[in-house]
Amino acid sequence: MITITFPDGNTKQYEEGVTGLMIAKDISNRLAKEVLSIGVNGEVWDLTRPINKDASIELYKWEDKEGRDTFWHSSAHLLAEAVEELYPGVKFGIGPPIENGFYYDIDFMDYPPLTDKDLPKIEQKMLELARQKQQFVRTDISKDEANKYFKDKDDEYKLDLIKDLEDGTISFYKQGSFVDLCRGPHIPDTGSIKAIKLMSVAGAYWRGDEHNKQLTRLYAITFPKKSMLDEYLVKLEEAKLRDHRKLGKELELFTFSQEVGIGLPIWLPKGADLRERLENFLKKVQRKFGYQQVITPHIGNINLYKTSGHYDKYGADSFQSIKTPQDGEEFLLKPMNCPHHCKAYQFKPHSYKDLPVRFAEFGTVYRYEQSGELHGLTRVRGFTQDDAHIFCTPDQLKDEFKKVIDIIFIIFKALDFQDFEAQISLRDKEDRSKYIGSDENWEKAERAIIEAAEEKGLTTVTEYGEAAFYGPKLDFMIKDALGRKWQLGTIQVDYNLPERFGLEYTGADNEKHRPVMIHRAPFGSMERFVAVLLEHTAGKFPLWLTPDQVVLLPLSEKYNDYAHKVAETFRENDVRALVDDRNEKVGKKIRDNELKRIPYLLIVGEKEQEEGTVSVRKQGEGDQGVMKIEDFMQFIMEETEKELTFAQNL
């Protein structure tokens, strides 16, 4: 007999060899139908895999990320089986689950390039195979046997993957006629895959290397119920309407130019205005928390980033060095702000009485992203971080960390991000080669984050392998209005850069000590934050933030002068107003300006001109009546101030 420990701490005895599915059935038949995979001592397993020793377990359903990942990973194998039946002889790369669904990279060899028109027949074949309720069967074999299998199959991609695996047993999975190299886990059989949608066809270089062959990447998503797919597709259509690239163009916020360079956004006047208001909002909050603004260059000597470790870790992803014409010096476009802030700290000696020192900067950084990975403002090559670095004593670390959490809460509440998850990102449990610094410092940093999150009452999830190379972090994953997850605010604890740069302060004992460094960016980057905010609000920004608060709509050209005069009065009093004096019917003007998400539409004609009034319409609410110019202006100013004061005082 073995002892199984459940998440609530209760235990039960089972015979050796019991499976997750057996345990689920023992609890209830309904649970057995819903469960998709099992966590065994922190590792996700197949439900049909025998448990042969005492273990702590957790049963994963669709509501759990581990359950969905298992479902979608299994669906990727089903996709591959369908493709292999329809296109015999194709070769397969990798097919992992992703945030929404999964993909599989496939070499279609000499077949004609796949198009969207080919997707329905693959969907139908997948549904046909799913209905056969094929079991996913795991087999453990030796590395030599695995190599022989794929050599006989003439599949160089799987052979390439096997090269990276350690010697010992390697797991294969089979369902129906399809066999794949895979560590699992998988759902028991294909029968629970009820709804399938192939989303798109794309290209992807093998191993992400543009020197390798380009494979065909099929993106897809599956669900255990058709109604869930229908709901997802409705959300997808809504997401298209909210696409920040579409809204950014319609609202004239930003643009891109091939001549300037792909992945390098150009902020147009309305977008620059909106971005400036966001920056000013955060600057005002930061001043209350004792931050000082600094400005650092857009480039730095290559040795600066070698000292910090960024060149060793990210040199390949940086824009390559710029050499001076005569002196032969080497510079990089700045990939990070933190080394520059370390040098700002070193400008003068510090005592423990000076600490914490808090440097903040809206610093633009540059990183080379492959063109296929660029996406609007969410993935760019040049972006501005709302960056800050806090230099403090070890005793101050936890309190400073908690104050940064407070700042992030202010931002999320001010902009109505209500649904978020705090993720503690730690080192990879096994591969420590990608990190710098001693285990002792890492353990201190990790402990500080965990304790600070607990003391702030945060519900957290822990992800291993997601830490920065110099320290662990607390990432804030927000869900937007469509339920999509985005990583925005981040706080990182770093014992290592102060050591690498030799940063010091004089302690109360008159000895030299090493400060601890906190990296933080509540917005993350201005580009991504604006993109997420655009899609979250569908372009309907709060009154204090929106680029245009008011538009005046003259009933005919006879009232254009009056409209412009009123707009000028508004602008003189910091009310953002414009005039739509096109020679169009007022109904069309109303419709067009509603689409521009302008909060207030003011109609002016003969009566308004004579009486010094405006006829007020509110976005989405219609007619609000007639108001004196002074009264409406006062109303807008008070509403704006009320919103802004509320936001900054949260």
Q: How far lies 426's CA from each of 115, 442, 467, in Å?
A: 41, 9, 5
Residue-wise pLDDT for 611-627, tens only, equals 999 999 998 889 999 99
Q: Give the integer Cα–Cα distance in Å for 193 and 190.
A: 6
pLDDT at 161 over 60: yes
Residue 400's φ and ψ, nearest 5 degrees, are: -65, -40
Lowest mean pLDDT of 306-320, 449-463, 493-507, name the range. 306-320
Residue-wise pLDDT for 520-573, tens only, equals 999 989 999 999 999 999 999 999 999 999 999 999 999 999 999 999 999 999
Name the β-bridge partners of 455.
Answer: none
Residues of the chain with CATH 3.30.980.10: 86-234
The active-site residue out of 286, 385, 423, 549 is: 385
379, 373 Cβ separation under 8 angstroms: yes
Q: Give the integer Cα–Cα distance in Å for 575 and 543.
A: 10
pLDDT at 57 over 70: yes
Annotation marks residue 186 as catalytic? no
**Strands of 27-76, DSSP E:** 37-40, 43-45, 55-60
491, 520 Cβ separation under 8 angstroms: yes
Task: Provide the whole-model pTM.
Answer: 0.79
Q: Give the integer Cα–Cα distance in Å for 622 and 227.
A: 35
pLDDT (0 to 100) of residue 647:
66
Query: What is 254-295+337-537's CATH number?
Result: 3.30.930.10
Instruction: Report, as an integer, the average pLDDT of 32-52.
Output: 94
Torsion region of 363: left, alpha or beta (phi above 0 gives left; psi -120 to 50 gives alpha): beta
Annotation marks residue 392 as catalytic? no
Instruction: Report, as an integer, the average pLDDT of 412-431.
Output: 86
pLDDT (0 to 100) of residue 649:
65
pLDDT (0 to 100) of residue 109:
92
Q: Is 389 annotated as a binding residue?
A: yes
Most confident of 320-329, 350-359, 450-459, 638-647: 350-359
452, 405 Cβ separation under 8 angstroms: yes
pLDDT at 313 over 80: no
Instruction: Report, as an integer, the average pLDDT of 196-225.
Output: 93
Instruction: Report, as an integer, the average pLDDT of 354-378.
Output: 90
408, 456 Cβ separation under 8 angstroms: no
Q: How confident is the model at residue 197 (pLDDT cuts 50, 70, 90)?
A: very high
Short-list 487, 488, 474, 461, CA closest to 518: 474
Instruction: Report, as an integer, the average pLDDT of 491-509.
Output: 94
pLDDT (0 to 100) of residue 355:
96
Polymer length of the chain: 650
Which residues are CB-contacts of 362 (< 8 A; sequence separation ≥ 6)? Answer: 279, 384, 385, 386, 387, 526
Q: Give the integer Cα–Cα distance in Å for 572 and 551.
A: 15
Annotation marks residue 338 as catalytic? yes
Residues of the chain with CATH 3.10.20.30: 2-61
Instruction: Report, as an integer, the average pLDDT of 60-65.
Output: 94
The active-site residue out of 107, 386, 387, 581 is: 387
Q: Is 342 annotated as a binding residue?
A: no
Lowest mean pLDDT of 7-11, 244-248, 484-488, 595-599, name the range. 484-488
pLDDT (0 to 100) of residue 650:
54
Annotation marks residue 473 as catalytic? yes
Q: Return the CATH class of domain 86-234.
A: alpha beta
How many helices (H) does the chain have, and how many strands (E)? 20, 33
Tokens of 300: 């730095």
Q: Is 519 annotated as a binding residue?
A: yes
Q: Give the integer Cα–Cα distance in Å for 174 and 154.
A: 18
The active-site residue out of 367, 427, 576, 597 is: 367
Q: What percent of the chain has pLDDT over 70?
A: 99
The active-site residue out of 182, 338, 342, 392 is: 338
Which residues are CB-contacts of 341 (< 8 A; sequence separation ≥ 6)? Answer: 294, 296, 359, 361, 387, 389
The answer regarding whether domain 550-648 maps to CATH 1.10.760.10 reads no
Number of other residues whose CB lies within 10 A of the CB of residue 50: 12
pLDDT at 639 over 80: yes
CATH architecture of 2-61: Roll (3.10)
Cα atoms in the 13 Å half-sphere on the side-chain side of 134: 21
Number of other residues whose CB lies within 10 A of the CB of residue 457: 6
Annotation marks residue 182 as catalytic? no
217, 104 Cβ separation under 8 angstroms: yes
pLDDT (0 to 100) of residue 463:
86
Annotation marks residue 358 as catalytic? no
| Dihedral sign of CA atoms 27, 28, 31, 36 in order | positive
pLDDT (0 to 100) of residue 69:
96
The active-site residue out of 68, 310, 381, 519 is: 519
Q: Give the integer Cα–Cα distance in Å for 105 and 94.
A: 6
Short-list 235, 288, 276, 241, CA closest to 410: 288
Annotation marks residue 480 as catalytic? no
Residue-wise pLDDT for 372-411, tens only, equals 778 899 999 999 999 999 999 999 999 999 999 999 999 9
322, 333 Cβ separation under 8 angstroms: yes
The active-site residue out of 310, 334, 389, 427 is: 389
pLDDT at 21 over 90: yes
Instruction: Tell me the angle at which helices 397-414 and 269-288 cross, rounded to the nearest 10 degrees.
Output: 140
Task: Name the average pLDDT for the chain.
Answer: 92
Residue-wise pLDDT for 246-290, tens only, equals 999 999 999 999 999 999 999 999 999 999 999 999 999 999 999
pLDDT (0 to 100) of residue 414:
87
Q: How confident is the model at residue 644 (pLDDT cuts 50, 70, 90)?
A: confident
Cα 81 → chain centroid: 32
Number of other residues whose CB lies within 10 A of the CB of residue 14: 16
